[in-house]
Amino acid sequence: MRLVILGGPGAGKGTQAEQLCHRLRIPWISTGEMLIAAIATQADLGKQAASYVEQGELVPDEIMIELIRQRLLLPDTRQGWLLDGYPRTAFQAEELDFLLEDLHQGLDWGIYLNVPDPILMERSLGRSRLDDKPGAIQRRIELFHQRTVPILEYYSPRGRLLEIQGDQSPQQIQQEILQGLKID
């Protein structure tokens, strides 16, 4: 199965994605985690991305599109994948479609974890990642609304968007995702 999971910072995407990937035996591809790992090891990608990530800004589309292209060419993606944190802009969403066309693959579902902003803020403040400083969190929430929410309009007319209220327990959310995707 090929999935994307969408939601603001602190929506619980990582938690849900990990469980779902374990169950479906597909790789969890988190662009945020890839960038943070690249920053920690001072890889070229990390050097290019560090200032954006630390300030809660979006890394330029061209860098992200190439990162995902390389990642989806790896052999572990044959049985499917779950993208967490990608796409994040309308441009990335369109480019993902072009890439999938080239790879003769199709997206099965977009999963949107809908969580109110004050809860996003509170949860992110409780973490300790390098981009979990109040200013950066505020900016990430803002950018989520400006740049990522429009993607929901891109996916929903295709009838492939599953919206879940994300301010429930992680178990309840996982249950609703499994039901929505008709996985038993």
Q: Which positions are catalytic?
A: 13, 88, 127, 129, 140
- φ, ψ for residue 96, nearest 5 deg: -65, -40
Does 88 help bind ligand AMP (rule: CB under 6 A)?
Answer: yes
CB of 149 to ligand AMP, least distance (A): 14
Q: Which residue is nearest to ligand AMP (CB)?
A: 32
Q: Given candidates 12, 32, 110, 166, which one binds ligand AMP under the rule CB under 6 A? A: 32
- Please give the helix or strand (H or E) that residue 149 lies within, else none: helix 149-155
Answer yes or no: are the C-beta atoms of 180 and 111 closer than 8 Å.
yes
CB of 142 to ligand AMP, least distance (A): 11
Place of tokens 């591809």: 29
Does 7 help bind ligand AMP (rule: CB under 6 A)?
Answer: no
Does 113 help bind ligand AMP (rule: CB under 6 A)?
Answer: no
Answer yes or no: are the C-beta atoms of 184 and 178 closer than 8 Å.
yes
Q: Name the residue among 105, 42, 95 with its Cα closest to residue 73.
A: 105
Stretch that binds ligand AMP, among 28-36, 93-101, 110-118, 150-158 (CB under 6 A): 28-36
